[in-house]
Homo-oligomer: A and B are copies of this chain.
Amino acid sequence: MRLVTYKQLAEHNTSGSCWIAVGGTVYDVTQFIHTHPGGAKIILKEAGRDATSAFEAVHSLDLLPRFDETVKPVGTLDKSSERLDGNDNTTAEADAAALRRAGMPSLGSVLNSFDFEAIARQTMKPEAWAYYSSGAEDEITLRENHAAFHRIALKPRVLVNVSHIDTSTTFLKQTRVSLPVYITACALGKLGHPGGETVLTRAAGARNVVQMMPTLASCSLDDMLNARVDGQDTWFQLYVNADRNVTRDVVLKAEARGCKGLFVTVDAPQLGRREKDMRLKYQEDISDIIVKTGGDEEGTSTGQKKVNRAMGAARAISSFIDPSLSWKDIEWLQTVTRMPIVLKGVQTGADAVQAARLGLAGVVVSNHGGRQLDTCRSGIEILPEVVADLKRAGLHGKMEIYVDGGFRRGSDVFKAIALGATGVGIGRPSLYAMSTYGQEGVERLLDIFREELEMVMGLMGCTKISDITEDMVDASHLSTRVSLVRDMLHQTVYEPLQPPQFNRSSKL
């Protein structure tokens, strides 16, 4: 490939003609900017520049070649050519990050998983916070995921000797873990911490829990696997690619390198609308830039343009996530690998029964952290339906049931076990702990879950996981759904009661 000087690179700095250099290669990404799932703005900020560090802050370098249709190599960056000014805003970003973290509480002051979230909200880069924290549309399900736990009451038994409490259990009949909790797969770990998903791998190893490694990680699979300690079991989460050969390759690689479970995501045939994230990504000035630089051949009306862009982004992502995925593909996967296969994202008893009929190893009852379909039920609410339908079909016990969504307390984990789960996935809390205090934070998070679960077990009269039974919870109102419409005038005219007032003006 031909050499490209810094000066030549800098000439293509508009949406009409946009070049960037990554890893020594210069790419023409003019077509790609409108289909970038992360938004056009973030690329245009790097237009005409060496974007290697910005790129690596989020992605693995092996990602770029996959976009061969819209990301075209132009040449090799001539690093000996004269550099131009204004190529670097790293210092300003570092200053902003330091400002956000000023006076940050010490890890010792973190008492529960909510504390990590509260600190992450203040210290994370707003774009990263928005990506992690947002849910689909009105975020009803996002919040219901946790709220549902408060419709389940604990019924503790007393006078049981609980001197020794053992929170350990076995996952997929082979992996002994220190507690019935695993770190579930989340995309783009580098948004929160430069070490990305390997931070989670190391913390999981230190605390003997399982990490589920994501297809859309910002670290490469090899990086994550290399971060394991001796004897550390991990799982692999799979988005089935439109090109089944790509899928076969990655599955075989995961199996070869020792992954102990294949978790196939089945609840994301397309991306949900995460509007809080979309709101932040959308920038008025993008259209200005586009107009100014003469670009944008798509449609004529603004509304139309947006549609096309959204469709473009969907196309871009669809090379990773295939909307045609169906039960046939699961049967095909069974021929590809001997890893236990678990469906991630089952939301009805009927689909769980179908999974059990296929002889799968398990299902994860999950709504994808409330990021896909709003107003669907929380995982914990679906759990009793899954158990009941499996029992009705004579398939209960043939398959393990995992669940995720909204778990924040040891008591939440206890409730899931009581309602029939083998294990519980933790997503956002691990990202927040990682983003605020790194590996040490994630370890502390897992310690908190263990401490809380131990305490709950002790107070419930349980000394081991198998002691936890369904009659220890009252879930009779788990599916009770109410909404409130305030009686405005009546409330406005009502004068609230007050406690007696101090006469603070009196002299001492």
Q: Which residues of A contact B (CB under 8 A)?
A: 98-99, 102-112, 114-115, 117-119, 121-122, 133, 137-140, 143-144, 146-163, 266-267, 269-270, 272-273, 275-276, 278-279, 282, 284, 287, 301-303, 305-307, 310, 323-327, 329-330, 343, 345-348, 350-351, 354, 372-377, 381, 408-409, 411, 440-441, 443-444, 447, 451-452, 455-456, 458-460, 474, 476-477, 479-485, 487-490, 492-506, 508
Contacts and interface: CB of A to CB of B under 8 A. Distances in A.
A54 B122 CA distance: 39
A270 B459 contact: yes
A324 B379 CA distance: 35
A408 B487 CA distance: 12
A452 B273 CA distance: 8
Contacts of A458: 269-270, 323
Contacts of A161: 323-326
A303 B483 contact: no
Contacts of A487: 138, 140, 146-147, 150, 483
Nearest to A286: B108
30 contacts: A102-B504, A105-B500, A108-B305, A109-B284, A111-B278, A111-B279, A114-B489, A115-B499, A115-B500, A119-B499, A138-B497, A144-B483, A151-B483, A153-B377, A153-B481, A156-B376, A159-B266, A159-B329, A160-B326, A161-B326, A269-B458, A270-B458, A276-B495, A301-B440, A302-B440, A303-B443, A373-B456, A477-B480, A488-B496, A493-B499
B443 A301 contact: yes
Given A106-B287, A506-B103, A375 B490 contact: no
B158 A376 contact: no
Nearest to A270: B458
A149 to B, nearest CB: 7
B102 A373 contact: no
A40 to B, nearest CB: 11
A497 B138 CA distance: 7
Contacts of A354: 159
Contact of A480 (B110, B480, B488, B492): B480
Contacts of A346: 158
A408 B452 contact: no
Closest 7 CB pairs of A and B: A118-B499, A303-B444, A103-B503, A114-B489, A105-B500, A147-B483, A158-B266
Contacts of A502: 102-105, 122
A102 B506 contact: yes
